[in-house]
Structures are given as structure tokens and as C-alpha cells.
Structure 1
Amino acid sequence: LAIVALASPVITKEYTNSKKEGRDIVLIVDTSDSMRERGFDPSNRQKNKFEVVKEVAASFVQKRQNDRVALITFADIAFVASPLTFETEFLQQIIGMQRLGIAGKRTAINDALVQSYSMLEKSKAKSKIIILLTDGVDNVSQVTTEELTSLVEKSKVKLYTIGVGSERDFDGVYLRKIAKAGKGQAYAARNAHMLSKVYDEIDRLEASQMDDKKVVQHIYLFIYPLLFSILLLLFFIYFKTKRSL
């Protein structure tokens, strides 16, 4: 047994330790008066655009694992409805509590975007994303489009824009321009189904990176035969001493 212990028997186990790298995501949602328009959901034309947007946004948040998500809403002004958080249930409740008219009736898209970029400046996440949703045209922001574009181009944050409803209502050229500056993409969603598909597409494009590390575990077994051989030696000494007495 002592010889077996000296041979140092070992069991080797190998397994993969997978770790997802989280993202910081800011959702920007338009709460201006134009979001009251009904008929956006063909399956329930009594719902207005804002009700559908809240449902789709809540569903998107529910799927987030390892990601921090924030919510900024805007109309005349932009304000933080929720800071970056891992608490998806809490954020879904916050989304459900949002009401039209709280921030006014007009559309301050640029101001909302600047606030979002300011929030993500402090983030240490490797992947930072903004998803802007609007059905209108900026008509009240204090920040100009030129100033915003310069900020977006310099930032490492990726920007996705979504225009909802009729393309006559939102400024597609503007949304494509700032999305390109933000190294992202611009989308148009004419109805609820298309909007859900857009969020799924963004989720696919921005999939969390998986960090797979191979872990090797060694379990050394020499201790067991060594202890057993020591016990046998002690018994041998004990009985030999007893006989000599």
C-alpha cells in the first residue's frame, strides 16, 4: 500500500466552464401624443401603438439574462424611468406603469439619445447598446442633429433605431443616418408583428458572447493507501509490543 501511495494515483476530470458576457442596454421609448394611434396590432385594433410597444419591450426585457437594461422615455422632455438593472421583473413593472402624456406631447428624440449616451459613458460593459423606438419627428430637442451625430460617431456604443407605424409619420432618413453613425441598423415596423421581429433580430445580432474555459481537476488518491498503510503499521507495532510483554 505504501508503494501504491508513492505511485501517487490520480483521477483527472475535465469540464467546460461557460460564462456569458453581459451587455448594458438602454431602451428609449417614445411617449409623445402620436403613440395614441390605434390599429397598430391587426389582431386587436383597439390597442394603441404605445400599448403594443410596452408589451413587446417587456417581452424583450424578460429574455435578458446576464444583461443590465435601462429605460428612458421621452416626449417634450426625456427622463430616466429606470437606471441600468439586472432586475428584469422590476423593469417589466416599470414598463407597465408608463403612461402617455407624462412627459408632454411633442418629440425630443435628440435629447433622449444624449441622455442615453451619458448613462452608458459610465458603464464598464464591453458591449453597450441603445435601442431607440419612435413614431415621430424631432420637433423640440435642445440638441441639434449635427451635435448628436458627432457624439454618436465618437462613441463605442452601438445604436439601433426603430420607426413604428406609417413611414409618413417618422423621419426614416434621420433614423438611418444616426443608426449608421452609431454603427448599428435602422428598422421600420408597420405593425405589432414586425416590431416583435425587429427586437428578435436585434437580439440575434447582439447575442451575448460565450467565454468557454476548459477546467482540469486533479483528484489525488495517494492519501487513502498511505493512511491505510500507516494504520496497518500501527496495528503491527501494537500487536508485536503486546506479544513481547
Structure 2
Amino acid sequence: MIHFEWPWMVLLLPLPWLLKHWLPPAQPQGAALFLPFAAMVGAGTTALVHTMPSPRKVLFVLVWLLLVIAATRPQWLGDPQPVPATGRRLLLAVDVSGSMATPDMAGDLSRLQVVQKVAGDFIQRRHGDQVGLILFGTRPYLQAPLTTDLDTVGQFLNEAAIGIAGRQTAIGDAIGLAIKRLRSDPGKTPHKGDTVLILLTDGSSNAGAMPPDEAARLAAAAGLRIYTIGVGSESQSEFMGLGGDLDEDTLKRIAQITGGEYFRATDADALEDVYARIDKLEPSAAKAQWYRPRDEWFPWPLGAALLLSLPAVLWRGRRWS
């Protein structure tokens, strides 16, 4: 869509005509040059000297018209596009240990598959926030750094596989990695309270170098608020020990130390309710913003005016001297 940034500049169009009719003619000043043969010059010849040829007048009119068009600053506006806006910094730490393969939350789907679906929808709702993803098992790995590209984070979550980070559970190390990532770029750290970690697991911490309680205290000192989610059915022990070791007490302490909350999700619907609750507790800190790309068109009429001004100024016709 074409747009004129300064449309009021069209008011300048009649300016040359107004100057011609309102300004008095220039009066000669100083001594005049005496020409002995002036009497021999005919009256008709004098009129020819002051008459501008019509083609030259047309050129000057076109030059002025193009200059006024350029002054209105014509632009071409593209389709509206979203602008990444930095709000909260939100890290998701998802357990991918062996017990997450247990199919006890929604039919034949494993716990990880349910988390991928529900957490993926949660990620897409975080417009304006920076979202990152940590996958942890025996060791934690940063799968996606903090970014406003929510589609990429969701894709990395969907590509997560059981056992990719080991078969055990290192909750303390996962929290430690989150703290390290947030401290690695302190210049971009938002106000305290805008940094959140959502840690989801179905087990207890049985691996890693850092105890969960110590990691929680370091997180609290760094201003990192942690929401913990324990997943798995109420009767986890019936799955041959794959998921019967959820340590709710530790998860509750982590949330309490850091100022967050602990949630229990026994099925897919309960997990959806948990993420909806977190959405309310931690609303997006930045509203979605949009912009329309602009292509400046004023150089085209301006360039055409400059090109036409050359023949207009250098015009030499038979009736022009």
C-alpha cells in the first residue's frame, strides 16, 4: 500500500505561480550599459528575448511537480509483521530420563509425549518473552538458548528423546545450568522477578554434582524463581519401578526456597491445568508488537527531477537567447 509521510507538502504546488504574481519585477540597480545601436533593435525582437518556449515551461512544471512529490515522502508499506519484544526470561527444564517413557498419563502416550504436547502449547502462548529449553537426565544440556523464536524452542522440545541426556535424574545440576546461563549475559538480565525456571520431572535427584537444595539457594540468590512440576500417575509403583520414586518433598522445598510453587500432574488434563495456572502467575511481561516494513520511494521522483532540470536549464532554442 502506498503511503505519503508528509502529504501536507502538496500545499507548495502553487508556490511558483504565487511568487510570479505577487512579487514585483526586479528593478535594475546601478549604472546601465549604453549601447549605441539600441535604437536599431526592433520592438518585436525584445519580446522574443523575454519569451520562454513552451517545451521549456513544461520541463520546469514537471521538475517542480516531481520535487513536490518527493517532498511528500512517498513510501510503500508492506504487510504487518510481529516484532520480537523482550519480556520475561523463562527457562523450561524437562526431565528426559528413562522413567519418562512410562505410559500412565494419557492412554498409550508416554509421559514425555504428554509433556511435549502440553508444554509445546504453553510455549506458543508466551509471546513477547524469551524462552529457553534445558533437557536433563544424568546430565543437563541446554537444548535451546533464551530466544523469542518460540517455534524453534517448540520444535526442539518435540524432538527430545528418552535417554538423550542419560537414564538418571540430576535435578540440582539442571538448576545449576539454568543459573549459569542467566549469569552468562548479565547485561541483558531483566528486573528481578522476571526470570523464571519451570522444572518438570517424574523422579528424585539420583545423579549430578550439585544437591537440589543447594542449587535452590543459589537460584534464590540470583533472583531465579522456580516452579516445580511432578508428573506421573498416583500409582507409579505399578510400572516396575520405572517411575515410582517421585520426590515431592524436594520439589516443594525448591519451589519454597525460590519463591515459586509446586504442582502435581497425574494426567494430561492436570498438566494442562498446571501450565494454565503458571500462565496466570507469570503473565507475559511484554505485549505483542507489530511493524510494517517501509520502502522509501522519494529518490525516484527526486532523481527524475534532477535529470529533467538539466535540459530545462541548458535549453537553447531558436527563440531563446
**Structure with the bigger percentage of strand:** 1
Aligned to 2:9: none
Aligned ranges for residues 182-221 of structure 1 at < 5 Å? Answer: 182-209=258-285
Q: Rg bigger for which structure?
A: 2
Q: For residues 22 and 110 of structure 1, what CA distance do their matches in structure 2 show?
A: 26
User: Which residue type is aligned with residue 205 of structure 1?
Assistant: L
Say how many residue pairs are matched. 189
Aligned counterpart for 2:102 among listed residues 25, 33, 37:
37
In structure 2, the CA distance between the partners of 1:189 and 1:86, relative to structure 1 (3 Å rule), is same
Aligned to 2:203: 136
SS in 2 for 1:93: helix
Greater CA drift, 121-130 or 73-82? 121-130
Aligned ranges for residues 1-245 of structure 1 at < 5 Å? Answer: 22-41=87-106, 45-121=107-183, 122=185, 123-126=188-191, 127-166=194-233, 169-209=245-285
In structure 2, the CA distance between the partners of 1:86 and 1:150, relative to structure 1 (3 Å rule), is same
Identity of aligned residues (%): 35
In structure 2, the CA distance between the partners of 1:86 and 1:173, relative to structure 1 (3 Å rule), is same
Which stretches of structure 1, 4 residues or more, deviate above 6 A after TM superposition? none
Q: Is the Cα–Cα contact under 8 Å of residues 172 and 213 in structure 2 kept in the other structure?
A: no
1:90 deviation in Å? 1.2
User: Which residue type is aligned with residue 35 of structure 1?
Assistant: M
Q: For residues 29 and 21 of structure 1, what CA distance do their matches in structure 2 show?
A: 23
SS in 2 for 1:79: strand
Q: Is the Cα–Cα contact under 8 Å of residues 21 and 208 in structure 1 kept in the other structure?
A: no
After superposition, the CA RMSD in angstroms is 1.6
1:146 deviation in Å? 4.1
User: Which residue type is aligned with residue 51 of structure 1?
Assistant: Q
Q: For residues 98 and 201 of structure 2, what CA distance do their matches in structure 1 show?
A: 11
1:145 deviation in Å? 3.2
1:124 deviation in Å? 1.6
Greater CA drift, 118-127 or 23-32? 118-127
Q: Is the Cα–Cα contact under 8 Å of residues 128 and 158 in structure 1 kept in the other structure?
A: yes
Q: List per-residue Cα deviations over 1:142-168 (Å, max 9, x = no partner).
A: 112342133123121111000001465
User: Which residue type is aligned with residue 36 of structure 1?
Assistant: A
Q: For residues 33 and 21 of structure 1, what CA distance do their matches in structure 2 show?
A: 35
SS in 2 for 1:194: helix
Q: Is the Cα–Cα contact under 8 Å of residues 72 and 78 in structure 1 kept in the other structure?
A: yes
Structure 2: segments with no counterpart, 5+ residues: 1-84, 235-243, 288-321
Report the TM-score, using the length of structure 2 for normalisation.
0.56
Q: List per-residue Cα deviations over 1:81-120 (Å, max 9, x = no partner).
A: 1000101111111111111111111101110111011112
Q: List per-residue Cα deviations over 1:172-212 (Å, max 9, x = no partner).
A: 1100101011111011101110001101100101113469x
SS in 2 for 1:137: coil
Report the TM-score, using the length of structure 1 for normalisation.
0.73
